[in-house]
Structure 1
Amino acid sequence: MTTITAKLNNEVKKAPVKGMMENVMQQFNSAADHINLHPNIRKILSITNNEIVVHFPVKMDSGEVEIFTGYRVQHNNALGPYKGGLRYHPTVDIDAARALAMWMTWKTSLAGLPYGGGKGGIQLDPSIYSEGELERITRRFTFALADNIGPEHDIPAPDVNTNSQTMAWIADTYMSTRPPAERTANQHVVTGKPDGSGGLEGRDRATGYGVFLNIKFWAKRNNETLLDKKFIVQGFGNVGYWASHFLEKEGAKLVAVQDAFGSVENKNGISVEDLFNYSIANNGSIVSFPEATGMSNENFYGTECDICIPAALGNQITESNAHTIKAKLIAEGANGPTSVEGEKVLLERGITIIPDILCNSGGVVGSYFEWLQNRNGELWQLDEVMAKLDKKMLESFNKVYEYSEREAMDLRTAAFCIAIKRIEKAYIQRGIFP
């Protein structure tokens, strides 16, 4: 593996992030209005607790020094330590980190986890750096963050263009800065680590598996089967691949895929494993896959299908393309893939959206399991992890679905209401210092 990006995290490189903060605030305010959120608590939750911006130098393979900008936004920790991913992407900036951190707060609350929300990353295109350079960038970023992260304070995880290797570098660097007696006790400063370095079996597939489970739960609620259902996936990285893998096992057919390099389709179905193996052999690209034909990126969302899984970046489904979508179910594998305006169009057309803070929460639930495993000095087997994930995801889905039906609202607003209520309760019970 020469770069972090190629194998598991191909994303749409030029995806816009403009408007993500506006989206999350509109979603928050809509739910806050519905539950009559206390004005003081609304003020607190409308802003972030901390915003860390670091500039740090790294020596490249050429001997030249390059300056990088890294971010870590900590939105809220009323329920526990900040939790959320680190991404390496040209679109990373303070506004994107703010929006993503807020979504993490709602996601961890909805899942019933003892976490708050944080997010961050480095503004760079990792595909142009060697593995050695990425290691030095990661370690230097970790050192620059210093005491702004910690196993009981802020716990990063993989995100766009980062993976288990990235987390291993962060954990090693962080532990190296601790006093000798404390080093092994800080292994859970990050989650999503490799199996041999304190990682959790099954963490690699947890997010995609969670997306699959939510689709399966939705189908059962609507007396439908996944057999022969056609689905399309944007982003054939870790989330897109695993969601497709499990859907295919249920008899569903992958008919179109889009990644950072282009789009392909086959109305008769695309083998998920064949496409994945092809992408590995072609530096992560799905373009020119022999069992499918190329298609324009503009026509991707208009593909005839039953299920659409946006699993790349934010603001991919907007008012400009929402009217072309043929699917009757959108399962959000990415964070914030649907703009507020785009969602309005979809809901008016009767299309159901399983929102990101529910649909892709399998990743943070898996991270929680890993954190507990490290904290307690335990080792969990894969079947045990998957069974726990099944149970946790079903609880969350049922809670949101039933609230949605009871209050006659869409699933996203229902999910936000449940998440915000839990945080409001914590503030009411504890009070505001001083």
Structure 2
Amino acid sequence: MIATSEVKKQKKQPTRGMMENVMEQFHSAADKIELHPSIRKILGITNNEIVVHFPVKMDNGDVEIFTGYRVQHNNALGPYKGGLRYHPTVDIDAARALAMWMTWKTSLAGLPYGGGKGGIQLDPKKYSKSELERITRRFTFALADNIGPEHDIPAPDVNTNSQTMAWMADTYMSTRPPAERSANQHVVTGKPAGSGGLEGRDRATGYGVFLNIKFWAQRNNEDLNGKRFIVQGFGNVGYWAAHFLEKEGAKLVAVQDASGSIHNSKGIHVEDLNNYSKANNGGIGNFPEADEMDSKDFFSTDCDICIPAALGNQITKENAPDIKAQLIAEGANGPTNVDGEKILLERGVTIIPDILCNSGGVVGSYFEWLQNRNGELWQLDEVMAKLDKKMKESFSKVYEYSERESMDMRTAAYCLAIQRIEKAYVERGIFP
């Protein structure tokens, strides 16, 4: 018979939730900078949490009820900003954590934004395009005045795209008085280029991930040519990061997404995989130029750089000890939990944190917002040059702070982001 104490030892401990992770990261940085207790209280909670339930008629005539979320964490620096995702894991806790991360991300990037996040709890693969359009439009209508171009500006996230944003913008503008409609085009960002979108917005996040890796390599006298990298998630972020890394001579050796995990030690051609993925409903499984691998072995692939660009809580204490990469570049939000990160840092692995590494998307969104607001039209080369400059400023600021204060890059990024918000509260005071 097994003793009760032995049973307890054998019982698997639950994985931390994203909200637990973000709060521990926040308090750790707040301790480092000795954040004022009152401001710690304010930043430790959300400003508003909107939950909407709305009916939508399906193609077969049936009515389904959906639950949508929009959490607005903080707007001390400007309007709430952040994506909307369509995924079964969307719930209020996930939205809270993601909204808080957006606050730190926009602050770190020096943007005039706060943080918000949300979405709908659904699997978009189960619905037709016409059903997704009706779901999106009804969700936008249900949010009503909780969003707006100077109040809360959604953008694409997991399983949403430029088409989703076009439907949202059209629905929102249709609810405004005729004279105000064109002035509300920047209610969302990430729109198609022909509908007020920004040239290059589709690649902004992935390009930003690539730039951070490039800047890290330059600081450490590393050559990206010949470096082996793996990517989890082969959507916009994973694809574009891989695309630009391959141009530098780096070699993609493994990819994982919801359809499976593949590897080829000789290298996987990024464009070939992208074309295959497009032809197979966005999945990379069974790609003929690579071998299938067990999903649990993905993170232990022999490589130099790992890019988690899928969902949160992917790198944990269970798989962190097996990671071979010496650099983790976080393309997703919250892909590394606190326990996993501690193990990696103890092993000397460098982590470029999400609020820095994947901030190219929100920087691109800011450019689009400005373009719409000012009635301008920017060319692709101009956008990419602006993005390059902005990302380099952010990376240098975080890297130098981490070196100066002898801390990891995530803590450094948090300290800088929180200090900017703290300054705003100190200067303005607390109403009334």
TM range (shorter): over 0.9
Identify the residue that residue 154 of structure 1 maps to in structure 2. Answer: 152
Identify the residue that residue 415 of structure 2 maps to in structure 1. Answer: 417
Q: Please state how far the C-alpha of 1:18 moved relative to its aligned partner.
A: 5.6
Q: Please state how far the C-alpha of 1:17 moved relative to its aligned partner.
A: 8.8
Question: Are positions 1:206 and 2:204 aligned together?
Answer: yes
Identify the residue that residue 129 of structure 2 maps to in structure 1. Answer: 131
Correspondence 1:17-416 to 2 at 5 A: 19-416=17-414
- Structure 1 pair 82/343, CA: closer, same or farther in 2 (3 Å)? same
Task: Give structure 2 stretches of 5+ with no counterpart.
Answer: 1-13
Q: Which amino acid aligns with 2:163?
A: Q
Instruction: Determine helix, strand or coil for the equivalent of 1:308.
Output: strand
Q: Which amino acid aligns with 2:330?
A: E
CA contact (8 A) 1:263 1:300 kept: yes
Aligned residue pair count: 419
Instruction: Determine helix, strand or coil for the equivalent of 1:319.
Output: coil
Q: Which amino acid aligns with 1:30?
A: S
Identify the residue that residue 427 of structure 1 maps to in structure 2. Answer: 425
Instruction: Determine helix, strand or coil for the equivalent of 2:134.
Output: helix
Question: TM-score, normalising length from structure 2?
Answer: 0.97
Q: Which amino acid aligns with 1:262?
A: G
Instruction: Determine helix, strand or coil for the equivalent of 1:428.
Output: helix
CA contact (8 A) 2:85 2:157 kept: yes
CA contact (8 A) 1:17 1:314 kept: no
Identify the residue that residue 10 of structure 2 maps to in structure 1. Answer: none
Mapped partners of 1:67, 1:19: distance in 2 = 26
Mapped partners of 2:154, 2:246: distance in 1 = 31
Identify the residue that residue 7 of structure 2 maps to in structure 1. Answer: none
Q: Which runs of 4+ in 1 moved over 2 A?
A: none
Q: Please state how far the C-alpha of 1:283 moved relative to its aligned partner.
A: 1.3
Mapped partners of 2:43, 2:286: distance in 1 = 47
Mapped partners of 2:234, 2:178: distance in 1 = 41
Instruction: Determine helix, strand or coil for the equivalent of 1:258.
Output: strand
Mapped partners of 1:430, 1:253: distance in 2 = 50
Tell me the alpha carbon deviations over residues 109-154 of structure 1, each in whole angstroms, 9 at most, x when there is no partner: 0000000000000000000000000000000000000000000000
Tell me the alpha carbon deviations over residues 232-283 of structure 1, each in whole angstroms, 9 at most, x when there is no partner: 0000001000000000000000000000111000000000000000011111
> Aligned-residue CA RMSD in angstroms?
0.8
Tell me the alpha carbon deviations over residues 193-229 of structure 1, each in whole angstroms, 9 at most, x when there is no partner: 0000000000000000000000000000000110000
Mapped partners of 1:23, 1:349: distance in 2 = 20
CA contact (8 A) 1:232 1:308 kept: yes
Mapped partners of 2:410, 2:22: distance in 1 = 11
Instruction: Determine helix, strand or coil for the equivalent of 1:199.
Output: coil
Tell me the alpha carbon deviations over residues 262-320 of structure 1, each in whole angstroms, 9 at most, x when there is no partner: 10000000000000000111111111111100000000000000000000000000000
CA contact (8 A) 1:358 1:415 kept: yes
Identify the residue that residue 8 of structure 2 maps to in structure 1. Answer: none
Instruction: Determine helix, strand or coil for the equivalent of 1:157.
Output: strand
Mapped partners of 1:273, 1:192: distance in 2 = 23
Tell me the alpha carbon deviations over residues 334-371 of structure 1, each in whole angstroms, 9 at most, x when there is no partner: 00000000000000000000000000000000000000
